[in-house]
Amino acid sequence: MIGGQAHLNRIWARTLLEELSRLGVTELCLAPGSRSTPLALEADAHPALNLHTHFDERGLGFLALGMAKASGQPVAVIVTSGTAVANLIPAVVEAGLTGEKLVLLTADRPVELIGCGANQAICQPGIFSSHVTASLDLPSPSVTVPLSWLLTSVDELLFRQRQQGGAVHINCPFPEPLYSPDPPDESGYYTGLLAHWRSAEQPFTCVSVQPARVTVPDDIQALRSKKTVIIAGDMSVSDAQAVAALAAALACPLLCDPQSGIGSDWAHYDLWLQVDELAAPLNECNLILQFGSRLISKRLTQWIARQVGERQGEYWYVSADRARHNPDHLPQCHFVAGIADWADKALTALAKTAADDPLPGQTHQQQWRQALRHTAQQVHARVGSYLAASGAMSELALAMDLSHRGQQASLFLGNSLIARLVDMFTLFDGRAVYTNRGASGIDGLVATAAGVQRASGSPLILLLGDTSLLHDLNSLALLTRSKTPVVIVVTNNDGGAIFDLLPVPPDSKQHLYQMPHGYQFEHAARQFGLAYYKTATLSAYQSVVNEHLLAGTGALLVEIPTTPGEAGEQLSQFIRDLHAL
């Protein structure tokens, strides 16, 4: 064997990483480990791969998730064997639900060391179960297995990922020795067809799939003839703007989830859906057109279920994701297409009906739309009055102020209480908004936001709660050397305030659900080299955030202490006030 096992391990790792690079991987996230030495050394030596390192594999997985989320490109992850692999599962679960492309390269012990008591040896094939799109279990590097097999296998795996999204898993068992002081001489391995591949820049095999033609239904004019409500869910800002253009052409209500990054004249729907008198006109809708999935508002999801299930309205859903997004199992027409492409095609088809040839019932529809717009305007005015009167900081005021704060920055929304308050109170005007709303977990939010910032290169605001930050405290290390302004806003209400809004047993709420901790975050910020500011007033918060985003560098952690239970009480009072409109 030329150069021994250590050299052969390196050649396999080199071949694998080179092919991934040709298939679009430019960013690679690496955690320390011995068994992954061949992959680590080759990744570090590859001129087209940018390395991102972290000592915590769970945070590393979410860092890669954030980078894939913001870039839309596959991001590779290298970890050593054993529980290091298992620590990737939370990020892989999220990617499996929301489609980010991760390429997991997990080093492993060779098969002869599995199940016999060898150190750090677990059964890794299949560890990610159905949460990955596909997996490839490599043999140990051997001269009896041709490198051409490795190349065609990797090509096929990443083709499936391009078609379906999500994570793919390549398990890489490396026998010892793992390291040799002299680099391998690759000339003895890359001969014939492999020599041609090595000198070229293209993947070993290429698959070309022609894009499907975007079509809209024959009865597309129903969008005009019926009382249509358009819903913008999780999507890019460019897609959201195409949806907004379609809604404007139809002059129909547009309900915008925060994840769309845009707003409309029908804002704050999650508030007026809680007041029957205000929500009543919306119930006249008989066609729902939803773009994108993963709606934050449970009330909006429940309204869709009532309109379709009880009132037998039509339900159209547009998404490039082929997966079923229909949690209430309603009769639904799913158009599998790019959101902007479908919206543009619908606009073209609708234009065939002359603008000066109104359809029957249009006057009544205009009155209906105006009534809904008036309701939204009343609620919006009440939100503005509340914010203007706010002196002391509160979680409600924070959500309202976000409509005006850091418009030049991307936004990452945490889960639990803050996402729901933003859904109720914040109005966006075309900014990039990121979330982890697949499994909606509180783990990995800091790391994912750090990945988003690295991939986007833009300033970023991260909003999350205290329990979420405690869960991902190690990932503050990913922001230690950031040069771009990042503001981490943590609302500290001493535990899980979301349970004030959920039906849990009152006698058990505090010790079984909220779990008060009594911690603050100043010393955590100092530990990881971050700037820190604590504020109890809205004006001070506004000043420090504005200053840091405009003139600051690196990461600033802003802690906002709030009274436990306050947000729930204020929200209840706000809803009571709406009943008086």
Coil, strand or helix at 270: helix
User: What is the CB neighbour count within 10 angstroms for residue 118?
Assistant: 12
Indicate if 273 and 420 belong to the same structural domain. Answer: no
Sheet holding 132-137, edge to edge: 50-53, 27-30, 75-79, 102-108, 167-173, 132-137
Q: What is the pLDDT of residues 111-166, one digit of tens each?
A: 999 999 999 999 999 999 999 999 999 999 999 999 999 999 999 999 999 999 99
In a domain, 385, yes or no: no
141 preceded by cis ω (within 30°)?
no
Where is the domain boundary, 366, 400, 422? Answer: 366
Indicate if 187 and 266 belong to the same structural domain. Answer: no
Q: What is the CATH number of the domain that holds 170?
A: 3.40.50.970
Q: What is the pLDDT of residues 505-523, one digit of tens each?
A: 888 878 888 888 999 999 9
- pLDDT of res. 1: 46
In a domain, 380, yes or no: no
- pLDDT of res. 360: 53
Please give the single-letter amino acid code of residue 46: H
Indicate if 164 and 228 belong to the same structural domain. Answer: no
Indicate if 469 and 349 belong to the same structural domain. Answer: no
Residue 438 contacts residue 92 (beta carbons within 8 Å): no
DSSP string over 482-527 = --S-EEEEEEE-SS-GGGGSS---GGGIIIIII------SHHHHHH
- pLDDT of res. 507: 84
Indicate if 231 and 192 belong to the same structural domain. Answer: no
DSSP-derived pairing of the beta strands 50-53 and 75-79: unpaired
Tokens at residue 82, please?
């054993």
Residue 300 contacts residue 273 (beta carbons within 8 Å): yes
Q: What is the CATH number of the domain that holds 268?
A: 3.40.50.1220
Q: Which residue has the tokens 């205009």?
A: 366
In a domain, 65, yes or no: yes
Q: What is the pLDDT of residues 355-410, one digit of tens each?
A: 545 555 567 888 898 889 989 999 999 999 988 887 778 999 999 999 999 988 99
- pLDDT of res. 356: 46
Indicate if 98 and 162 belong to the same structural domain. Answer: yes
Where is the domain boundary, 306, 333, 366? Answer: 366
Indicate if 192 and 253 belong to the same structural domain. Answer: no
In a domain, 481, yes or no: yes
Indicate if 234 and 307 belong to the same structural domain. Answer: yes
Indicate if 43 and 183 belong to the same structural domain. Answer: yes
Tokens at residue 493, please?
């209400």
Indicate if 543 and 448 belong to the same structural domain. Answer: yes
DSSP state of 196: H
Tokens at residue 54, please?
């972290």
Where is the domain boundary, 149, 166, 199? Answer: 199
- Phi/psi of residue 137, each to 5°? -95, 105
In a domain, 407, yes or no: yes
- pLDDT of res. 77: 98
Distance CA 391, CA 395 (A): 12
Which stretches of the chain score pLDDT less than 50?
1-2, 354, 356
Residue 266 contacts residue 255 (beta carbons within 8 Å): yes
Q: Note if the pTM is more than 0.85.
A: yes
Indicate if 343 and 394 belong to the same structural domain. Answer: no
In a domain, 516, yes or no: yes
Number of domains forming the structure of the chain:
3
Indicate if 130 and 273 belong to the same structural domain. Answer: no
In a domain, 482, yes or no: yes
What is the span of the domain harbouring residue 358?
A: 222-366
In a domain, 419, yes or no: yes
DSSP string over 150-189 = HHHHHHHHHHHHHHH-SEEEEEEE-PSP---SSPP-GGGT
